[in-house]
Amino acid sequence: RNAQGEITHLESQQGKLEAHHFVLSPGTTGSALLRGTGCENLVHGVLGIWLQIPNLEPQMRHSIKIHRDGHKVEDINITVAKDGETGEDILVFGGAYGYVGLDRPAPDSAELRALYDELEEVARIYFPAGYAAAKQRGPQAMYPGGHRKLCVRPFTPTGLGVFERAPTAAGGQLVITGGNNTGGFAQAPAVARAILRAFAGEHDPIHVLFHPDR
């Protein structure tokens, strides 16, 4: 920033990044980038894991959600899909949503292993044939790449994303956005419109609704 508080450039491994406008959407790993802004410490992570099994006859035709009270993994999304490499009909299980803040769980942690075991148990109970087929084929069939993977999604306490603006020295704006929870894909067109309107000096409801001081 310069003496007037305007953004002059961003620091990067490639050196200074200078532009008229900037858009930052750092997810859960870029919290350091938000220091000194209104969005500092507002975007935290929520864990998600998944596995897949063959969608055998009688095949599932529609994606569903299973809810089980009192279990480690209470909500499981089961999505009807096709394997991107083989074209096989598959079921993708996703769940185990848990708050991790600004950290990442150790891949060999007992807690994470317990969540994977629970998700496999759901697959075994409700789709025994598909689960047995995946187990027989080995980890490659159940976990693409052959090993268990996870994602950490950017969430905020209110369930709404963030949208902050700061002036740049070149007369433009730096826009911070993100934290859009599981609705990020659905909200993306509206967020993109809000960014374009910010650059054009026009009003958009998201500028107020997603403001960090809302």
- What are the pLDDT digits (tens) for 43-85? 999 999 999 999 999 999 999 999 999 898 889 999 999 998 8
- How large is the C-alpha radius of gyration of the chain? 21
User: And the tokens for 26?
Assistant: 């750092």
Q: Is the pLDDT of residue 24 over 90?
A: yes
Q: Please report, rounded to a whole number, the percentage of residues in the chain having pLDDT higher than 90.
A: 66
Alpha carbons 39 and 141: distance in angstroms, whole number: 40
**Mutual angle of helices 110-126 and 128-137, in 10-degree steps:** 130
Model confidence over 169-205: pLDDT tens digits? 999 999 999 998 777 888 899 999 999 999 999 999 9
**148 versus 128: which is more confidently predicted?**
128
Say how many C-beta atoms besides its own lie within 10 A of residue 100's C-beta.
16
Alpha carbons 161 and 119: distance in angstroms, whole number: 29
Alpha carbons 199 and 214: distance in angstroms, whole number: 21
Residue 82 has what pLDDT? 95
Say how many C-beta atoms besides its own lie within 10 A of residue 115's C-beta.
22
Q: Tell me the whole-structure pTM to 2 decimals.
A: 0.78
Mean pLDDT of 1-30: 92
At 119, is the secondary structure helix, strand, or coil?
Answer: helix
